[in-house]
Chains A and B, each alone.
Chain A
Amino acid sequence: MSASTLTIRKRKVDAGRWFRIIAGVAICLGFLLPVLWMISTSFKLPTDIFTTPPKIFSTFTMDNYTSYMQQADIGRRMINTVIVAVGAGVLSLTLGTMAGYALSRLNIRGGATIGVLILASRGVPPIALAVPMFLVARNLGITDMHITLILAYCTFLIPYVMWLMRSFFAALPKELEESAMLDGASRLTTFFRIIVPISMPGIVSTLIFSIILAWEELLFALILTNRNAATIPVAIAGMAADTENGAMWGALTAVGTLTVIPVVIFALMVQKHLINGLAEGATKG
């Protein structure tokens, strides 16, 4: 190849590269647009929301955050959501991590079958659990309590955590705990002193995903709560459906923004772990 064809080729490659970068960035912005529009709408006056052409800039107002919030008890629902999401996340992480460790290391009889069962349980549609959970909770008189919702969320979070952590532990070298156990440490001590600390990246990303999954759950929250333990997604579902008083876009976007912002900040802070955890969780077996 002569020098000139090489430069042409290089230029072509360069052009292709920049095309891909620009297209990638444009697509990424396209995906962000709905979120940005939601945030900007939440600071608009009703007259600026219901107008055509749509206004990008308008009078800045906090009305949507102040007026509606109080009447719909959004603060309390926010606290409920935090309690339930963190409670369910921590509980399933603790139990699921230990069980995942047992499955990957403790030579459980029928471990392979249990593995298939866990995976299968991730395919159980929550609606198949909804009716009995509602009936049992009702008969036990534990509807509308945080703990009920936390336990309900464990049904999908524990299998999820077990699955992720099981493959995470399977990738760790065995020598780690073997030497500790030779020194006379028990399994449990070894697990908490040696395995948990070095698995922190995996544990943290799994915990965050679990909390996010619980944070946004709707079906169980709809059927198991009504006032005391109702979460934000229930409120949003109500607002989206309520068109009798005219669409409540201001309130909807305000509550939506409040729900999304903490999770986005949280996710971006640990994005590296999250992306790695995501990739490994999906493709590692």
Chain B
Amino acid sequence: MRTSSLLPKKQEASEIPPPSRRTVKGGYSQPSRARLKFNDLLSKWTFLGPTTLLLLALLAYPIFYTIQISFSELNLATFAPKGWVGWENYKDAITDPGFLNSLKVTGIYLVLALPLQMVLGFGIAYLLNVEWKWRGLVRALFLIPMVVAPVVAGGVWKMLLDPLWGIVNYMLGFVGIGPLNWLGDPNLAMISIVLIDTWRWTPFIVLIASAAMLALPRDVFEAAAVDGARWWHTLIHVSLPLLASAIGAVFVVRWLGAVKMFDIALAATRGGPGQSTNVVNLYIYEEAFRSLKFAESSAMAVIVLVLTMIMTMIFLRTTKKLEDRF
């Protein structure tokens, strides 16, 4: 498997000869150059045009509209932005303790969940990476948590973690832990959210990591084994460097998913208790659609958008470097 960069490669101009030359070589009738050029352009636009239009209308336009609203006041009678208020909404946003708290909560969630899921995912994949008749079946079963809708995951785990009737506390009782008020205690609630998210997303990492491990060259490991290398030496000096680019790529994909965290928090805790699990997407949603503060929430959304973009670019650069190094 090629585990090259997530960044697209530069298009090589020499790769595809212009159709004109090809047609001439093939000995077919020679339409005029202008006509070929027109055909070429036409085919490019039949392929790319509809998507470009749709994404401009549905993705680019809303982003600009959000930016516009974030600098205006929103008329709640017409639901249209009016007037220019400068950075007013942004000032409101960054002095809003709820918003700042939601950024902090999101940060805690990301810092806890991403490394945990990466380690668990690659660890389980390593464990599963043995020749066995039923390995394919076990891997297929790992697909199941991944296709459980996040909102279902949140709701069902809310039931499992229930302090009175939940099965988790019941089972922990056998080893002398608890009963714990999973979703009722502010600190534990964050742990619970991370736990639910980890349950839902680790299988995804397991599957990708398994594929990456299957693609590793066998002879290197055999050589290491013949040399009598200990398993942790093999892990640190052989496996991890070989897997570096896959790890980077999986991390970026997982990051892109994790910053959208919304459904699980909404279903399991609705941001509570207090504000302890109020991730930023949930907070902005409530501000916009419950409190109808569209202008302020647009400013918050723009801030989140910019932060996400910066972080994504940093991660992409880092994975690119990681790849070049190994």
Contacts and interface: CB of A to CB of B under 8 A. Distances in A.
Interface of A: 17, 20-21, 23-25, 27-28, 31-32, 34-35, 37-38, 41, 49-54, 95-96, 98-99, 101-103, 105-108, 111-112, 115-116, 119-136, 138-139, 151-152, 154-155, 158-159, 162, 166, 171, 174, 178, 181-182, 184, 186-188, 191, 212, 215-216, 218-219, 222-223, 232-233, 236-237, 239-241, 247, 249, 252-253, 256, 259-260, 263-264, 267-268, 271, 274-276, 278-280, 282-285
A285 B4 contact: yes
A183 to B, nearest CB: 8
A142 to B, nearest CB: 13
B66 A182 contact: no
A82 to B, nearest CB: 14
Contacts of A223: 285, 289
Given A212-B147, A236-B155, A283 B58 contact: no
Given A123-B256, A260-B149, A218 B263 contact: yes
B152 A21 contact: no
Interface in B208-262: 208, 210-212, 245-246, 249-250, 253, 256, 259-260, 262
Given A41-B159, A50-B165, A283 B208 contact: yes
Contacts of A129: 58-59, 62-63, 66
29 contacts: A20-B127, A20-B130, A38-B159, A54-B167, A95-B50, A98-B50, A101-B47, A102-B48, A125-B305, A126-B260, A129-B59, A130-B285, A131-B66, A132-B66, A138-B79, A159-B55, A171-B2, A187-B46, A188-B43, A191-B47, A240-B158, A241-B270, A252-B155, A267-B146, A268-B144, A271-B140, A278-B204, A283-B2, A285-B6
A41 B54 CA distance: 43
A237 B286 CA distance: 14
A38 B149 CA distance: 13
B138 A284 contact: no
A124 B47 CA distance: 24
A32 B202 CA distance: 12
Interface stretch (B92-100, B107-115, B294-302): B294-302
Interface of B: 1-11, 13, 15-16, 19, 22, 26, 28, 39, 43-44, 46-48, 50-52, 54-55, 58-59, 61-63, 65-66, 69, 79-80, 124, 127-128, 130-132, 138-160, 162, 164-165, 167, 170, 199, 202-204, 207-208, 210-212, 245-246, 249-250, 253, 256, 259-260, 262-263, 266-268, 270, 280-281, 284-285, 288-289, 294, 297-298, 301-302, 304-305, 308-309, 312-313, 316
B46 A188 contact: yes
Given A127-B281, A132-B61, A252-B156, 16 more contacts: A20-B127, A34-B153, A95-B51, A102-B47, A112-B10, A130-B301, A188-B46, A233-B151, A236-B267, A240-B268, A253-B156, A267-B147, A276-B211, A278-B204, A278-B211, A282-B249
B54 A154 contact: yes
Contacts of A162: 51
Contacts of B263: 216, 218-219, 233, 237
Contacts of A120: 309, 312-313
Nearest to B164: A52
Given A124-B308, A283-B212, A99 B1 contact: no
Interface of A is mostly: helix
Contacts of B203: 31
B8 A285 contact: yes
A104 to B, nearest CB: 9
Contacts of A111: 8, 11
B147 A99 contact: no
B250 A98 contact: no
B29 to A, nearest CB: 9
A197 B62 CA distance: 36
B159 A252 contact: yes
A88 to B, nearest CB: 12
A138 B75 CA distance: 14
Nearest to A152: B58
A212 B204 CA distance: 14
A20 B9 CA distance: 39
Contacts of A21: 130, 132
B79 A139 contact: yes
Given A21-B130, A132-B62, A283-B250, A187 B162 contact: no
A198 to B, nearest CB: 17
A173 B165 CA distance: 58
A205 to B, nearest CB: 12
Q: Which of B4, B55, B256 has the most CB of A within 10 A?
A: B55
Contacts of B22: 178, 181-182
B302 A128 contact: yes
A70 B131 CA distance: 49
Contact of A37 (B43, B66, B167, B304): B167
Given A20-B128, A158-B51, A253-B159, A279 B138 contact: no
Q: Max chain B CB contacts within 10 Å: which of A105, A260, A283?
A: A283
Contacts of A116: 7-8
Specify which of B1, B51, B148, B262 lies most central, judged by the most chain A CB atoms within 10 Å of its CB: B51
Contacts of A237: 151, 155, 263, 266-267
